[in-house]
Copies of this chain bind each other. A is one copy, B any other.
Amino acid sequence: MEFSSKVLEKAVNEISQLPGIGKRTALRLVLHLLKQPKEQTVFLSQALLTMREEIKFCLNCHNLSDVTICEICSNKNRDHKIICVVEDVRDVMAIENTGQYRGVYHVLGGKISPIDGVGPNQLNINSLVKKVKSGAVSEVIFALSSTMEGDTTNFYIYKQIQESSIITSTIARGIAVGDELEYADEVTLGRSILQRIPFENAFKNY
List the interface of chain A (C-beta within 8 A of B).
1-8, 10-11, 13-15, 17-21, 25, 27-34, 38, 40-56, 63-66, 70-72, 88-90, 92-93, 96-97
Q: Are B10 and A19 touching (Cβ within 8 A)?
A: no
Q: Are B52 and A88 touching (Cβ within 8 A)?
A: no
Q: Are A30 and B51 touching (Cβ within 8 A)?
A: yes
Q: Name 25 A/B residue pairs within 8 A (Cβ), A-sorted.
A: A1-B93, A2-B93, A4-B63, A4-B64, A4-B70, A4-B89, A4-B92, A4-B93, A5-B64, A5-B66, A8-B89, A14-B43, A14-B44, A14-B48, A15-B44, A18-B29, A31-B88, A33-B51, A33-B52, A34-B55, A41-B49, A42-B49, A42-B52, A45-B45, A45-B48
> Which B residues touch A17, using CB under 8 A?
40, 44
> Which B residues touch A51, using CB under 8 A?
7-8, 10-11, 30, 33-34, 41
> Which B residues touch A89, using CB under 8 A?
4, 8, 27, 31
> Which B residues touch A6, using CB under 8 A?
66
> Which B residues touch A54, using CB under 8 A?
7
